[in-house]
Amino acid sequence: MLKSKMTRRTFLKASAITGVVAASASYVGRGNISDASSIQDAEKIPNLCNGCSSRCGMTVTVSDGRVVRVDGNPLHSRSRGTLCGRAHGAALLAYHPDRLTEPLKKNENGEFEPISWEQAYKEIGEKLQTIINEHGPDSFAYFQNPKRVQRLYGDRFVEALGSANIFSHNASCNLSRDTGFKHVLGGVPSGDVANAKVTLFIGRSYGDGIRPSQLQNLVTAKDNGSKIYIVDPRLNSTSNLADEWLPIKPGTDLALLLAIANVLIEENLYDKEFCEEHGNRFEDFEREMKQYTPEWASDKTDLSVDVIKQVARDLGENRPKAIVEQSWKGAFGCNYENSTETARMVGLVNALLGNINVDGGMLFTSGPSLESPDNLKEPGELKPRVDGAGIKGEKWYLADTAKGVGNAVPDFVKEGKLKAAFCQHHNPVRNHPDYEVMKEGYEGLDLLVVVDIWMSETAEVADYVLPESSWLERTEAVEGLGGKTPTVNLRVQAIDKIHPKTKNFSEIMSELADEMGLSDYFTDLETENRTACEKLGISYDELLEQGTIQLESTWEPGYQGSNTESGKVEFACQAFEDAGFTAVPKWVEPKVTIPEGEFRLIHGKQNIHSHTYSTNIPKLAQISKEYNLDSVWINKKRADELGIKDGDPVIIENEMHTGKTTAKVTEAIHPEAAFYPSHYGSRASLTYNDDNGLSINDYTPHQYEAMSGAPNMMETSVQIKKDGA
């Protein structure tokens, strides 16, 4: 094995060995390898990683004012003392050459020019006030990555102005999943994978979209002899920990779940007592599931009848310590016309297994309640959300209000409903399907303010871009995490600001609030943090020291009721009926049927990248380059038919876009699927990401899933051909 695979490395080795003297100095860490032991007076400062949105607890080692090392914080429930590659890459951000260093304003020629903070606040404040006076508070929206500092300073700012239009990045991640779970179970539980005897993963790969604790739980499960199934059109990076790979036809996971429910009920392998006692209209569900036989599902999914029955029996016979894992974006986060239905069925199959809130099942745990000072002014009544999420009679009544249908912004702008927006830690123009539509939409706003550390595709169409301090340069709001052991966590500033004119988001928003006469709604971060700790009865100073404080467990095993309309598990949801769908989940075909000879373009995370920003981190970009990670996966048989060999340059095209990449020809993917990682194809002018591959969002039209409004990100078909053929 070693020998046969040596070719590329031998080549690399040759380049490495014959290279010449001198150096690039772009690094974090020690000055020189021979100085490796010379770190003096190092200080260890707790932080929360910004490599992705998981915010793993970490310790930053700083020597002489420079970051020399990052380590996982053993107290933190997500990192448990370890860190994935993204953390080591993102540790560089403060020193990145693309950093924004002062506020920018777009001039009449469409070019950005630096302005003072005073001018920025004054102009933004006046423009926003004028828009709100003319068009009402609901013409203003805020786009964020939902963390507590964003809620305290961003959401609160929007609400102080009377708008409820808060959108998170989740429309391009898990809007469908959350919408489905919300209606059947009242929220998204966490699979207790470590203690389950059987776990079925659908599209979710702990080894690709990494959160260390989840992977560690899976390793524990494996060590304990759990049975692990991975349902994925692609054999993902978690595959070695799985017992079986179910290479499902993309977009048909719902059929598998319906058939699992069918077998569990037909073979009496479900928790009858739980379903009858805690289920709403279980008899309707039972009746509807009769039609979804394994034979029917086999035809839809390309999985054999035997495999479908075996999975269902394994789950049923091991209940309640048997779970269908909740996933993130995976297969049903926001990808297909049937994604919300898939999420509903994941929730309901778990309910059939009677595993809700039991050890080895699907847990509902809560985090600590963190409060603000009592003397802050509370926002008054808010105008209804522009997307109608949660509002009966509106198109996206079912959509989860905590996320919002953010992908619909171009439509709201076109309809004249949205006039102004703020955007922070989020890049909707690139991260939602159809760049042209998104760009035009955001450009159409009368006022777009983007807060970021460098230019994104969204920042490039903004009127004002405000430079934020990078994550190691700022302290943030105290935040809580749920779990069997809940924790309180803090990001503490580790190094001095590299660029003195950058500011923390909390400062930017409170200062703008001052300018607009909204000071009463805000206080400074330290007061917020001390108050939150005081009210919780923990020491802020201790938190500053160690970054994480573990709290007493408040989790009680056993079903505690559901936060749904009926207060029960909704085997049939009235809300779905009210919205024009069926109360009981039913089979929904994917929107796009893939014509003969074409491929469904599917995507997913690569474990060194997060969203679309990290391809501009040189260490991580280098790995992508060195290991050809920005290649499209094609099934070997299909590739043979097309005359494509591994490593060949290929063209991916459809009516929306034509682009060039290289082929990874593999047996490890379903023949209908072409897999391309979701991180590449940046269009922003940044140092490390030009010529960095394709974007899946260039191939998918601006469209909506009927139930949740999610962007149906894998509902697209492409042709692939050899370049030059």
Which residues 571-610 are close enough to bind another protein by CB under 8 A?
Answer: 607-608
> What tokens were used for 553?
């467990």
Q: 206 or 581: whose CB is closer to another protein?
A: 206
For the window 52-71, what string marks contact with another protein as x by the rule CB under 8 A? --------------x-xxxx
> How far is 36 from 188, CA to CA, in rounded Å?
46
Give the shortest CB-636-to-another protein separation in angstroms: 7
The SS3 of residue 18 is: helix
Nearer to another protein, 4 or 369 (CB): 4
* CB-based contact 450:466 (threshold 8 Å): yes
- CB 18 to another protein: min, Å: 8
Question: Which residue in 175, 166, 515, 486 sits closest to 330, CA to CA?
Answer: 175
Q: Is 40 in the site for another protein (CB under 8 A)?
A: no
CB of residue 503 vs another protein: minimum separation in angstroms?
21
The site string for another protein over 152-191 (x = CB under 8 A, - otherwise) reads: ----------------------------------------
CB of 84 to another protein, least distance (A): 5
- Of 370 and 621, nearer to another protein (C-beta) is 621
One character per residue 652-671, x = contact with another protein (rule: CB under 8 A):
--------------xxxxxx
* Total residues in contact with another protein, by rule CB under 8 A: 90
Positions in 441-500 near another protein (CB under 8 A): none
Q: Which of residues 422-441 bind another protein (CB under 8 A)?
A: none
When asked if residue 235 is in the footprint of another protein (CB under 8 A), the reply is yes
**Which of 20-28, 157-165, 170-178, 564-572 is the region at the interface with another protein (rule: CB under 8 A)?**
20-28
Distance CA 408, CA 419 (A): 14
Q: Tell me which residue of 378, 374, 373, 379 sits closest to 528, measured CA to CA.
A: 373
Please enumerate in sequence order all residues whose Cβ is within 8 A of that of 480, keeping only pairs 6 or more positions apart, or say none: 148, 367, 368, 369, 370, 486, 487, 488, 489
> At a CB cut-off of 8 Å and minimum separation 6, what does 328 contact?
173, 174, 177, 204, 209
> Is residue 38 a contact partner of residue 55, using CB atoms and an 8 Å limit?
no
Q: Which of 290, 284, 396 is nearest to 340 (CA)?
A: 396
Q: Is 133 in the site for another protein (CB under 8 A)?
A: no
CA atoms within 13 A on the CB side of 386: 30
Which parts of 626-655 interact with another protein (CB under 8 A)?
626-627, 635-637
Site string for another protein, 317-346 (x = CB under 8 A): ------------------------------
Q: H or E stretch including 665?
A: strand 658-666
CA distance 255 to 293: 9
CB 166 within 8 Å of CB 141: yes
Question: In angstroms, what is the minimal distance from the CB of 467 to another protein?
Answer: 17
By CB under 8 A, the residues from 336 to 395 that bind another protein are none
CA torsion angle 530 534 540 543 (round to 10): -130
Q: Are 714 and 639 in contact (CB under 8 A)?
A: no
Q: Which of residues 69-128 bind another protein (CB under 8 A)?
A: 69-72, 81-85, 87-89, 91-92, 95-97
- By CB under 8 A, is residue 24 in contact with another protein? yes
What b-and-e string marks burial along 114-123, b requiring 16 or more CB atoms within 10 Å of the CB?
ebebeebbeb
**Quick one: which segment of 26-34, 385-393, 539-547, 654-662 binds another protein (CB under 8 A)?**
26-34
Member of 129, 237, 310, 566 binding another protein (CB under 8 A): 237
Beta carbon nearer to another protein, 80 or 313: 80
* Closest CB 652 distance from another protein, rounded Å: 21
Find the binder of another protein among 46, 103, 191, 247 (CB under 8 A). Answer: 247
Whole-number minimum distance, CB 241 to another protein, in Å? 7
State which amino acid sits at residue 431: N
Q: Is 5 in the site for another protein (CB under 8 A)?
A: yes
> Residues 267 to 306: which contact another protein by CB under 8 A?
none
CA 463 – CA 447 distance, rounded (Å) = 6
| Residue number, 31 or 187, with CB nearest to another protein | 31
First to last CA, the chain: 33
Q: Which one of 101-109, 214-222, 408-416, 516-524 is the stretch in contact with another protein (CB under 8 A)?
A: 214-222
Single out the segment in contact with another protein by CB under 8 A; choices: 135-143, 194-202, 207-215, 451-459.
207-215
Q: Is 12 in the site for another protein (CB under 8 A)?
A: yes
Q: Nearer to another protein by C-beta: 96 or 657?
A: 96
Least Å distance, CB 234 to another protein, is: 10
Is the preceding peptide bond at 649 cis, omega within 30 degrees of 0? no
- Count Cβ atoms below 10 Å from residue 539 Cβ, excluding itself: 13
Q: How far is the CB of 33 from another protein (least distance, A)?
A: 5
Closest CB 489 distance from another protein, rounded Å: 18
Tell me how far, at minimum, the Cβ of 508 lies from another protein, in Å: 25
Nearer to another protein, 410 or 618 (CB): 618
Region from 239-247, 262-270, 284-292, 711-719 binding another protein, contact rule CB under 8 A = 239-247
Query: Per-residue b/e over 20-59, b at no fewer than 16 CB within 10 Å?
Result: eeeeeeeebbbeeeeeeeebeeeebbbbbbbbbbbbbbbb
Does position 618 interact with another protein (CB under 8 A)? The reply is yes
User: What whole-number distance in Å separates Cα of residue 657 and Cα of residue 697?
Assistant: 10
Tell me how far the alpha carbon of residue 124 is from its chain's centroid.
30
Residues 6+ apart with CB under 8 A from 391: 384, 385, 397
Backbone phi and psi for residue 213, each to the nearest 5 degrees, phi listed first: -60, -35
**Would you say 19 or 724 has its CB closer to another protein?**
19
207 binds another protein (CB under 8 A): yes
Closer Cβ to another protein, 434 or 672, answer by number: 672
CA 234 from chain centre, in angstroms, equals 19
Q: Which of 215, 255, 572, 601 binds another protein (CB under 8 A)?
A: 215
